[in-house]
Structure 1
């Protein structure tokens, strides 16, 4: 049985890499021109190096894991594989770029008070894939869910540094 499981993992990895290669491959077709003569294609640069790409382009360098995630729920995905999947599926208030800098994601800007005990985030007008609007309460609900003892999330310790987090739980 072990050989079958290992073979299935190797086959899944090979299939994933083939899909990745196909998705990154170019097209044999000539790009169509827009009315201003532009092809719509950016010149130079590659996702592999990030060189030559526009400054506001986020290049996400991650090593793909060959194992299955234990969860794809961001409140319970506590393994490398699970967090890789949830990072692709879900947007947070901010994200970290290749230079290890915090940059906007759903939040367009944020500021803290003098002692960093209160933070204000400005959210861009957006909606979830189901059409519901993204609201501050969306994030509040997600954080309360992580802190809920019934869920028993192993990730709750990330939020327990927030004053009052135990009151929510």
Structure 2
């Protein structure tokens, strides 16, 4: 894929992958009564952009993800680096789980299982490049997980620029 189309495509693929993983959905919905239907989690608890719930006091858990293209090859401009960043955010009152791990650490583990080595994004397998804990407010803890791959920086011969964002 080329230009910015992979950002839209990849974000849709990521949303579908996360929403179809029963264990991830369960880790989010078990702490938000009453249970929400899976399709209502997107843009409520799962965000395809960086979201920081600093004003939210209710107990919840969020997964945010973003796509970056930090570098384009200067040799032939054919390849570009793609970074997929997940930020798992959890209210500190919901950190404890029955798995012997914090909620953010266990969700990071599940995301790593789904995406590390995945071949659906770019030319190469996605590779885990970092998993870093942190906090974003007095009540919210987070873990940022990043994956890297390479992708094309050219439109396929069969596409025109007008078709770029068509389904």
Structure number with higher relative contact order (C-alpha < 8 Å, ≥ 6 residues apart):
2
Taking structure 2 as the reference length, the TM-score comes to 0.24
- When Rg is computed on C-alpha atoms for both structures, the one with the higher figure is 1
Taking structure 1 as the reference length, the TM-score comes to 0.24
Q: Which has the higher strand share?
A: 2
